[in-house]
Amino acid sequence: MTQENQPAVHDENQIIAERRAKLTEIRQTNNAFPNTFRRDHLTSELFKQFNALSKEQLEEQPTIVKIAGRMVLKRVMGKASFATIQDMSGRIQLYISNDHTGEPVHAAFKHYDLGDILGAQGTLFKTKTGELSIRVTDLQLLTKSLRPLPEKFHGLADQEQKYRQRYLDLITNEETRKVFSIRSKVVQAIREFFVERDYLEVETPMMHSIPGGASARPFSTHHNALDMALFLRIAPELYLKRLVVGGMEKVFEINRNFRNEGISTRHNPEFTMLEFYEAYQDFTYLMDFTEQMLAHVAKQVLGTTHISYQGKTIDLSKPFMRLTITQAIQKFHPDYTTEQLNDRNYLIKKLQALNIHLNPNDGIGGLQLSLFDETTEHLLFEPTFIVDYPAEVSPLARRNDSNPDITDRFELYIAGREIANGFSELNDPEDQAARFQEQAKAKDAGDSEAMHYDADYIRALEYGLPPTAGEGIGIDRLVMLLTDSPSIRDVILFPQLRQED
């Protein structure tokens, strides 16, 4: 390590300089970064196993344990000290005194800093207030922390820093640790739910030569060796349905999608999507399936199907409401008559009056959907399936048998947000080809989110896609619901931010 080769460090301060000096001193006598200490317990295990024992029981049958973790609190009192050590499972208090470690170890401890990573061996005991603690006999500094931690009581409050330096947020904020623990369990519960039902988990390409499966602007990149344009996927849908053609009749994928669009409290450019497909089922089956899955996941992860979101309660155990687009509009805005909602001229005038963006080529269904999006979507707090999506905005969904202008499709709204989108799949290759043509026309006309014509996908359909039901669920938004998080950035470990400095 030569000073000359190191990049200039701009944020050096007195505290860091002092800690660096301590590290330099340690280097002179010891290995400053030893990797020989092995713990034999996590802190939470110690509480589980031994907290029920009394002070006397612990003294009669001494238990020797080794733990390791980051020192987050420190209280020095002359010839004895207390320190709180945090590991992945929780915290435990160390008692360090000249009597049990000898004076030199305790003296060294006094120079350890908050944030340092320690390994400790000692005997379990209870303090006079009854707190399970470790009476330390051996103490080692495992990793010197050069930078001071955020304020020990308030933790890290600055939102930007919480996102940019998530590790600091995780060290100091138990709520943050809990959110990501729940996120992990949600994904695990979903995976188990599918595996139990004989679904096969698959991974399909993240880089597409033709971005498809959704209406969104893609990120584009380039493959040098092949000298070809590639797009980060906006959805896995068309690949998953190719697998169903191939005979994988129940498949699911939990993975990232990338959309080159706005960033908000509900949108991150890369987000996690569950998509699943099951042959020989339809969209009504999916709605039942979704109700069961969400109730199962909530029960499994939170232990209850009654979740609290931003001060209101949501019950995931009862069947969700099912409303058509116009029924939903009328439920919240009873002044709209059925005649008005089916009158193209009325809808256009109304949308213009409300200053709502509309596509002039839209039919009645598209116009109804625009009105719904603007006036009603955000009011759907209770879990609600919206059905009867117009075919013109559903280029991959099967037409309804009795009304070809609408599709066998639903979207699920909870807490005013779209959580899921599912439908009976369009498996008529000729209809699909015609719909791609329409999308391609729209794209030529300037709609940057319209779909490309995917000839290989049509070829796959021509081999025969069995009647199939398929659905996508936004995992981040589901985790927001289950962790009562107001922003998607709170459930993504490293949300997208502008570049620093």
Residue 80 near RNA by CB under 7 A: yes
CA 475 → CA 186, 259, 272, 282, 493, distances in Å? 9, 15, 5, 22, 13
Residue 171 near RNA by CB under 7 A: no
**Residue ranges in 358-387 that form contacts with RNA under rule CB under 7 A:** 373-374
Residue 262 near RNA by CB under 7 A: yes
**Residue ranges in 327-356 that form contacts with RNA under rule CB under 7 A:** 356
The one segment of 29-37, 198-206, 346-354, 413-421 that binds RNA by CB under 7 A: 413-421
Which among 130, 60, 59 has a CA at the least distance from the CA of 93? Answer: 130
- The least distance separating RNA from the CB of residue 56, rounded to whole angstroms, comes to 13
Residue 82 near RNA by CB under 7 A: yes
Q: What are the tokens at 89?
A: 């499972």
Among 89, 300, 327, 487, binds RNA (CB under 7 A): 487
**Residue ranges in 133-162 that form contacts with RNA under rule CB under 7 A:** 133, 135, 147-161
Residue 128 near RNA by CB under 7 A: yes
**207 bridge partner residues:** 232
Among 2, 28, 129, 402, binds RNA (CB under 7 A): 129
291/296 Cα distance (integer angstroms): 8
- The least distance separating RNA from the CB of residue 1, rounded to whole angstroms, comes to 22
Q: What are the tokens at 69?
A: 């973790």
Residue 114 near RNA by CB under 7 A: yes
**Residue ranges in 201-260 that form contacts with RNA under rule CB under 7 A:** 214-216, 259
Among 43, 86, 176, 268, binds RNA (CB under 7 A): 268
The residue among 246 and 486 lying less far from RNA, judged by its C-beta, is: 486
Strands 417-424 and 250-258: unpaired
- DSSP at 393: G
Supply the Cα-derived Rg of the chain in whole angstroms.
29
Q: Which residue in the block uniquely carries the two structure tokens 């729209």?
A: 442
Among 298, 427, 474, 481, binds RNA (CB under 7 A): 474
- The least distance separating RNA from the CB of residue 288, rounded to whole angstroms, comes to 21
Where helices occur in 421-486 by DSSP H, the ranges are: 429-444, 455-464, 475-483
Residue 405 near RNA by CB under 7 A: no
The one segment of 120-128, 137-145, 218-226, 295-303 that binds RNA by CB under 7 A: 120-128
The one segment of 219-227, 242-250, 344-352, 489-497 that binds RNA by CB under 7 A: 489-497
Which among 276, 247, 285, 251 has a CA at the least distance from the CA of 464? Answer: 247
* # of chain residues touching RNA (CB under 7 A): 80
463/455 Cα distance (integer angstroms): 13
Q: What are the tokens at 26?
A: 């340690």
- The least distance separating RNA from the CB of residue 188, rounded to whole angstroms, comes to 21
The residue among 271 and 320 lying less far from RNA, judged by its C-beta, is: 271
189/192 Cα distance (integer angstroms): 5
- The least distance separating RNA from the CB of residue 267, rounded to whole angstroms, comes to 4
Q: What are the tokens at 147?
A: 């930078």
Give the length of the chain: 501
Query: What phi, psi does 104 have (nearest 5°)?
Result: -60, -40
Residue 93 near RNA by CB under 7 A: yes
Residue 476 near RNA by CB under 7 A: yes
- DSSP at 397: B
- The least distance separating RNA from the CB of residue 499, rounded to whole angstroms, comes to 7
Q: Quick one: three-class SS letters along 221-276?
A: EEECCCCEEEEECCCCHHHHHHHHHCCCCEEEEEEEEECCCCCECCECCEEEEEEE
The residue among 109 and 457 lying less far from RNA, judged by its C-beta, is: 109
The one segment of 13-21, 189-197, 293-301, 319-327 that binds RNA by CB under 7 A: 13-21
The residue among 244 and 451 lying less far from RNA, judged by its C-beta, is: 451
Residue 15 near RNA by CB under 7 A: yes
Among 98, 209, 324, 327, binds RNA (CB under 7 A): 98
Q: Work out the number of other CB atoms within 10 angstroms of the CB of residue 40.
A: 11
- The least distance separating RNA from the CB of residue 149, rounded to whole angstroms, comes to 7
Residue 179 near RNA by CB under 7 A: no
Q: What are the tokens at 16?
A: 């860091």
426/362 Cα distance (integer angstroms): 21
Residue 174 near RNA by CB under 7 A: no
The one segment of 60-68, 72-80, 200-208, 274-282 that binds RNA by CB under 7 A: 72-80
Task: Using the Cα atoms of residue 39, residue 44, residue 50 and residue 55 in order, give the sign of their dihedral.
Answer: positive
The one segment of 36-44, 129-137, 321-329, 383-391 that binds RNA by CB under 7 A: 129-137
108/96 Cα distance (integer angstroms): 11
The one segment of 44-52, 89-97, 221-229, 298-306 that binds RNA by CB under 7 A: 89-97
The residue among 123 and 300 lying less far from RNA, judged by its C-beta, is: 123
103/109 Cα distance (integer angstroms): 10
The residue among 460 and 479 lying less far from RNA, judged by its C-beta, is: 479
- DSSP at 305: S
Q: Element (H or E) spanning 110, and its range? A: helix 103-110
- The least distance separating RNA from the CB of residue 374, rounded to whole angstroms, comes to 6
Query: What phi, psi does 294 have (nearest 5°)?
Result: -65, -40
Q: What is the per-residue binding string for RNA in 420-459, x denoting contact by CB under 7 A?
A: -x---------------------------x----------
